[in-house]
Structure 1
Amino acid sequence: MTSPVSVEIKGPIAWVTIDNPPVNATSTAVRAGLMQAVDAVKGCDLAVLQCTGKTFVAGGDMSEFDAPPQPPHLPDVVDAIEKSRVPFLAIMHGTVLGGGFEIAMACAYRIAKPGTRFGLPEVNMGLIPGAGGTQRAPRLVGWQTAVEMACLGQLKSAENLLELGVINAISDNPEAEVENHVDRPFEPVSERRTPASPDWDALSEQVKRFAKGRAAPLHNLTALQWANAPYADSQPKERALHLKLRQSDESRALRHIFFAERAAMSPAALRDTTPNAVTQVAIVGGGLMGCGIAAACLNAGHQVNLIEQNEDASQKATQTVRALLKGALDRGKATQTQYDNRLQAFSASDNYHDAANADLAIEAVFENLDAKRAVFTKLSEVMRPDALLATNTSYLDPNDIFADIPNPERCFGLHFFSPAHIMKLVEVVQGENTSKATLATGFSFAKGLRKTPVLAGVCDGFIGNRILAAYRRAAEYLLADGALPYQVDAAMRSFGMAMGPFEAQDQSGLQIAEANRRRQDATRDPNERYVHISDRLCAEERFGKRSGAGWYTYSPEKKAPQRDPWVETLIADYSNEIGIQRKSFTDADIQTQLLTAMANEGARIVQEGIADSDATVDVVKTAGYGFPRWRGGPMHWANTVGDEKLRQTLGEMQTSSPNSWVAADRFATSKN
């Protein structure tokens, strides 16, 4: 088997090249090749370490993390490079991450191409570096930057590190700089003294705020503090903790979602299908969703025509899109030239003929079947017969929306999440007639927007909103049975959710869920348990934060939502009215019931073929609904606690709410 590491000696200089696509990860073969290279360069004056492809070494091979570590181990390789009698010079490009940055820090010299970025992102996988990253970094970049990289997972630019003296030069032609480093003095990083101790209390508070329940950021902070000891004493401690954390629930969950995202973004059914090119996009609907989609498209380099009902609405949409683009400029996410170019690529009008040359049209009007059908009737009259048509509906059946539209194989769903210019998830919805080429184009388009696309079949709410409905229903059952909104929300935040279910409803607006309930009234099983508390809030025009009151009350003076005695009395009165003896729930009770509701609905979705795997469900919930990545998603959580526990909990939920829960096959008991 050919080694992914080659050595070519040209006079006094050895060129060591890593060729391990796609990201030159430090696999066992790469580590072995590097160890052999250290021996092979003996007698040379300098060894230049470089990588083929789009990037320098961008981390470890996580597919190896579940197996016992195989020699040569990365710390030994890194130490061998640093202790080599022949100094190594790293020529870096793309990203220099994790083990790649550990290797670079062990080199005597470092040259980066413009645009190179550096990081120690192990924290994002529930880990700490394992080959000296937390021990060399403080000695090389200083305490603050080391904390930002190792604990907060921040990436640093080549310019940042040049200013800190970490790299020797930034060059478009780094090969021309090589001879300048022959016989140049250097000091091994591991032998340097650490800087004076920082304000550890302040750094600890910074890391705790970032962690939000995760353990890895704090483990990284602890490991950094070990760097005050001699390297020979501290690095083995770092390695031992790294290996221990590989087996932690947090790391396993984060690795699960890492691989799940990559699988979901490249469905097996579409891998041999070539997508069509999309250059010009038409968007119908200039509300917050439509404008957010427009901004995302403009940021990705598309030409965008936004169509509204009238001139006033189109002018308002233009102002909104300008504001979104200006926000990116103000935050440093776009240059002035990019901002100007994006504005030039945008237009808004009330004329459907402006969509005539678009490759793709996305409808983003309000959730009304007739309104959406009217949009596509007009679009199909003016657009090319092969132009793609996508609906952004959250709940409605795309097959009904596209009924009678010519060439239905080009019709599909592109369900964005609000705010669309920020949120990563896009559900690519396959209708009855949608072709593979259309779906492949939808995936390619979403990836071009730097989104996370997942394939979804048609059902009420697709994947994400269908699970959300079950989650909310279970939360309202808890209210009727004895819990209060603040207790439920606190329990789910404690689990790691960005918000609890009632806080989230107040943010989005209770009228949205109410409209969906009214839509389902005609088809809802009359024997299903139905809790009317939310309906009563809406009857009082308590629609959430925007109206000043919902499950909570809101005021300009207080940032956080405030408990409302009126709401809590309403809930207690409702329980009494229907004859329920209210009881108390622990945080664990609340978490288990709500997560079981989510996992069961997710299992049903997979069982019905709406999602192709448990992993896809997990991607949807973590990318679009605030489920903590470090918990892996509801299906990963279910696998962690075991099917038997879920059967027991679901059985209890079915007893307390008869005729209200349909168990997935994997969670069904003999009684079902």
Structure 2
Amino acid sequence: MQTRAELHVSAHRTRLCRTRLHRNRLVRDGPGRGTRAGNFRRKRSRVTVRAHGSRIDRWARVVIVEIEETNGVAVLTIDNPPVNMGDTAMRTALAEALDKVAAQSGLVGVVLASAGTHFYAGSDISEFDRPMQAPQLPDVIARIENLGVPVVAALTGLALGGGLELALGCDLRIGDPTTIVGFPEVTLGILPGAGGTVRTARLVGVPSAIDLVGSARRVKADEALSLGLLDEVVPADVLLARAVERAATLGAKNRLVDRPAPVSDETAVEAARAAVSKRARPNVLAAVDVVCTGASLEGREALRRERALFDELRVTDEAANLRYLFFAKRRAAKAVRSRTPAPQISAIGVAGAGTMGAALAGAFAARGYEVIVFDSNRAALDRVADRSGITPTDSIADLGRADLIVDAVFEDMDVKKSLLREVEPHLDDTAVIVSNTSYLDLNEMASVLTVPGRFAGLHFFNPPDRNPLVEIIRTSTTDERTLAVLSAVVTRLGKTPIPAGIGDGFVANRVYADYRMQAEFLVEDGASPAEVDAALIELGFAIGPFAVADMSGLDIAWARRKRLADTRDPRQRYVDIADRLCEAGRLGKKTGAGWYDYPDGAKRGVVDPRVDAITEKARADAGVTARPVTGDEIRDRVLASMVCAAAGLVEAGVAQRASDIDVALTEGFAFPARLGGPVRALAQRDRAEVVSALEAAYRSCPVSFAIAEPAAAGEIPDTIEKILEAVR
């Protein structure tokens, strides 16, 4: 009798066998075409490795590398579902297959192919948290290079990271039109460590290698061919036949590691360096250096140095934190998927042609959607009229052609309710409606709809055409079909989604509000806005909270504070410096003055003595005596305040996981990703430091940060301990 795990494996193997026959069947259509049916001599064997499940798939798995000989060419077909991820089991199976092939006589060539959609989608980065197991990828590639016959890589789908490095270890690379290659390693705090920097520079030259390694961008088949990463691109149905043909006729080895790098123009090299170096993390700069220095070294020495730096970077805190965020994003994306199939969405209507609406319309149009923008303001419509793929209209009835309607009108409940009442009668029964509200109660909005199940929140962040974060907010009535639509749209937009529940500010803005509130407490206590911004830039932020507030406009937060004024606890500390700035007409960069002054439209603000005067008057009225505030205190109080907010959101169920909050803050608000997010960052501090930071936040306002009260007695609150433990 089979165990449950064995049944799972058996089912996988049945399905994969069909996939293999479908994708890798060779058909003899005429002279020069290979075949797996007909007169060609075939020998088939199989290398099978059983492995324990990864953190994604807990069942036992079987990794297969099938070896089939056709007229002197051994085809090694890699079968590690679902995406041919490079893990220990796969490397072991491939190494054993290569050893088996090396012992065969009479071979003239070898082909590496895939049984599935992807050649080799990348490495299992969860293995990087543990000591690397043999055989490591450089050992597998060495086996390829040491074979006495040429090896051709038949690429399909993704060949990323280790997958591209494996292909570069072959003597020739042929892809089909679905092929996508690239080196994502620098986004994970490391660099290509299996010859990626060395062989790429020798194949396409140093400037192109700097770009590929340093940018981490994905390159489609046509560009890969023009760069020289691929030697040919052929239709998918003849990919394997062509690879076998080339392997049979190459004759000689073509090891990239033995080549000298092409001579590069120094100006082009420096230009490539400069393009990558803008605000790049240290590991990215190190990767660029390895590309440049490796090109001038003997190949094996360059490989050794590359691997040594890879091993060094792999165990850094930064790399561990970036891996944590990688998996956190995957969990968040999975949480917003629906089991209900998503219908086809081709037209999107945007209600509101203001700054947010116009930017959203552009983002949708850029992804191939037909976009209809409604606004009663003709001047606003004129600003989007000349954009390709966007149809402006002042008739709300025209939104009836859309499959999805996005509310991007003014942030006012009555305005939004009025829009929903007016637009719904024009829509098909299957149309979905979403609101981009930042703070308002979506359940209350849904109450005016005849079909509330079609309604949800889809909260984008400024600027929506560039900011990757999106919150998908389910109301009490949102149905599964609506969720399926939103998940599909967000995926097509290339955004990073997190699930969020109903609550003021939902997830990201709620945490950011406490971050901003603590920053204002610090100013009232004695720090200047510039000192707070500088302290947080030192932590790793690209820009401080007061400069951000000026960019966004101080009137947005001011409107929220006024809306919540009647419900504010009178015992709660309230800093009114920002209110006084707004009352003085200082609404931020758009008015030329906010927390900073912007003379003559300056991009960066300058310290303005008038803000100092307003601040001093506010302190005096509040009875606060200014004192020196250190950078460490600023950073500790801000970080602890964000974690207090995070704990409250998880406890209330507005956020599903602490890791979702780390994703939200790093993706949407530029919290330094190298720290893993605010919760992860505090979780990595020692206990005494955590207690001290939480106590400082609590004492800044015992009402706002009541959740941290146990810290005043030297204890970490259970609710906070729970989320800290969840992200360690």
TM-score w.r.t. length of structure 1: 0.90
2:302 equivalent to 1:242: no
**Alignment partner for residue 323 of structure 2, among 255, 258, 263?**
255
2:159 equivalent to 1:110: no
2:101 equivalent to 1:38: no
Gaps of 5+ in 1: 326-342
**CA–CA distance in 2 between the matches of 1:601 and 1:143?**
47
What does the per-residue CA deviation read over 1:628-664, in whole Å, with 9 as the maximum and x for residues that have no partner? 2222211211222256533321212322434332226
Do the aligned partners of 1:411 and 1:438 also contact (CA within 8 Å) in 2? yes
Aligned position for 2:67: 7
Do the aligned partners of 2:442 and 2:456 also contact (CA within 8 Å) in 1? yes
Question: Residue 127 of structure 1: CA displacement?
Answer: 0.7
Aligned position for 2:468: 424
Aligned residue identity for 2:166: I
- Out of 62-71 and 540-549, give the one that drifted further: 62-71
**Alignment partner for residue 53 of structure 1, among 116, 119, 127?**
116
Q: How do residues 290-369 of structure 1 correspond to structure 2 at under 5 angstroms? A: 290-309=357-376, 312-313=378-379, 316-317=380-381, 319-320=383-384, 322-323=386-387, 325=388, 343=389, 346-369=390-413
Aligned position for 1:82: 145
Aligned residue identity for 1:388: V
Aligned residue identity for 1:580: V
Q: How do residues 174-213 of structure 1 correspond to structure 2 at under 5 angstroms? A: 174-178=239-243, 179-181=245-247, 182-195=249-262, 202=270, 206=274, 209-212=277-280
**CA–CA distance in 2 between the matches of 1:436 and 1:162?**
42
What does the per-residue CA deviation read over 1:542-591, in whole Å, with 9 as the maximum and x for residues that have no partner? 11111111111113474422121221333234334434332223333222
2:285 equivalent to 1:218: yes
Q: How do residues 159-558 of structure 1 correspond to structure 2 at under 5 angstroms? A: 159-172=222-235, 173-178=238-243, 179-181=245-247, 182-195=249-262, 202=270, 206=274, 209-212=277-280, 214-224=281-291, 225-267=293-335, 271-309=338-376, 312-313=378-379, 316-317=380-381, 319-320=383-384, 322-323=386-387, 325=388, 343=389, 346-556=390-600, 558=602
Q: 1:293 to 1:161 in 2, by over 3 A?
A: closer
- Out of 193-202 and 218-227, give the one that drifted further: 193-202
Aligned position for 2:155: 92
Do the aligned partners of 2:441 and 2:502 also contact (CA within 8 Å) in 1? yes
Question: Residue 98 of structure 1: CA displacement?
Answer: 1.2
What does the per-residue CA deviation read over 1:47-83, in whole Å, with 9 as the maximum and x for residues that have no partner? 1112243332232111222122111111100111111
What does the per-residue CA deviation read over 1:579-613, in whole Å, with 9 as the maximum and x for residues that have no partner? 43322233332222112111211121111100110
Residue 521 of structure 1 aligns to a residue whose secondary structure is helix
Do the aligned partners of 2:352 and 2:373 also contact (CA within 8 Å) in 1? yes
**CA–CA distance in 2 between the matches of 1:13 and 1:600?**
63
Aligned position for 2:40: none
Aligned position for 1:29: 89
Gaps of 5+ in 2: 1-49, 51-61, 718-728
Do the aligned partners of 2:637 and 2:696 also contact (CA within 8 Å) in 1? no
Q: 1:642 to 1:394 in 2, by over 3 A?
A: farther
Q: Higher relative contact order at CA 8 Å, sep ≥6: structure 1 or structure 2?
A: 1
Do the aligned partners of 1:603 and 1:664 also contact (CA within 8 Å) in 2? no
**CA–CA distance in 2 between the matches of 1:149 and 1:639?**
34
Aligned residue identity for 2:514: A
Question: Residue 357 of structure 1: CA displacement?
Answer: 4.5
Question: Residue 519 of structure 1: CA displacement?
Answer: 0.7
TM-score w.r.t. length of structure 2: 0.83
Question: Residue 203 of structure 1: CA displacement?
Answer: 7.0
Question: Residue 511 of structure 1: CA displacement?
Answer: 0.8
**Alignment partner for residue 136 of structure 2, among 32, 50, 73?**
73
- Out of 557-566 and 615-624, give the one that drifted further: 557-566
- Out of 46-55 and 272-281, give the one that drifted further: 272-281
Structural RMSD (CA)? 2.7
- Out of 493-502 and 229-238, give the one that drifted further: 229-238
Aligned residue identity for 1:148: D
Do the aligned partners of 2:190 and 2:310 also contact (CA within 8 Å) in 1? yes
**CA–CA distance in 2 between the matches of 1:299 and 1:52?**
34
Do the aligned partners of 2:338 and 2:483 also contact (CA within 8 Å) in 1? no
Do the aligned partners of 2:598 and 2:604 also contact (CA within 8 Å) in 1? yes
Residue 151 of structure 1 aligns to a residue whose secondary structure is helix
Q: 1:370 to 1:39 in 2, by over 3 A?
A: same
Q: 1:247 to 1:403 in 2, by over 3 A?
A: same
2:208 equivalent to 1:145: yes
Q: 1:84 to 1:656 in 2, by over 3 A?
A: same
Do the aligned partners of 1:644 and 1:667 also contact (CA within 8 Å) in 2? no
**CA–CA distance in 2 between the matches of 1:151 and 1:244?**
18
Do the aligned partners of 1:393 and 1:415 also contact (CA within 8 Å) in 2? yes
Do the aligned partners of 2:85 and 2:120 also contact (CA within 8 Å) in 1? yes
Q: 1:116 to 1:520 in 2, by over 3 A?
A: same
Residue 419 of structure 1 aligns to a residue whose secondary structure is coil
Do the aligned partners of 1:141 and 1:161 also contact (CA within 8 Å) in 2? no
- Out of 506-515 and 490-499, give the one that drifted further: 490-499
Aligned position for 1:340: none
Residue 384 of structure 2 aligns to a residue whose secondary structure is helix
- Out of 20-29 and 122-131, give the one that drifted further: 20-29
Aligned residue identity for 1:151: G
- Out of 466-475 and 184-193, give the one that drifted further: 184-193
Aligned position for 1:330: none
Do the aligned partners of 1:151 and 1:207 also contact (CA within 8 Å) in 2? no
Q: 1:288 to 1:22 in 2, by over 3 A?
A: farther
Aligned position for 2:662: 618
Aligned position for 1:18: 78
**CA–CA distance in 2 between the matches of 1:349 and 1:458?**
32
Do the aligned partners of 2:532 and 2:634 also contact (CA within 8 Å) in 1? yes
Q: 1:436 to 1:208 in 2, by over 3 A?
A: closer
Aligned residue identity for 2:381: A
What does the per-residue CA deviation read over 1:181-236, in whole Å, with 9 as the maximum and x for residues that have no partner? 52344431222234558759947963783344x22113323433245333333423
Do the aligned partners of 1:152 and 1:210 also contact (CA within 8 Å) in 2? no
Q: Count the aligned residue pairs.
A: 647
Q: 1:308 to 1:161 in 2, by over 3 A?
A: closer
Do the aligned partners of 1:204 and 1:221 also contact (CA within 8 Å) in 2? no
Do the aligned partners of 2:420 and 2:448 also contact (CA within 8 Å) in 1? no
**CA–CA distance in 1 between the matches of 2:246 and 2:114?**
20
Do the aligned partners of 2:211 and 2:272 also contact (CA within 8 Å) in 1? no
Aligned residue identity for 1:259: F
Aligned residue identity for 1:228: S
Residue 334 of structure 2 aligns to a residue whose secondary structure is coil
Q: 1:625 to 1:667 in 2, by over 3 A?
A: farther
Aligned residue identity for 2:324: H
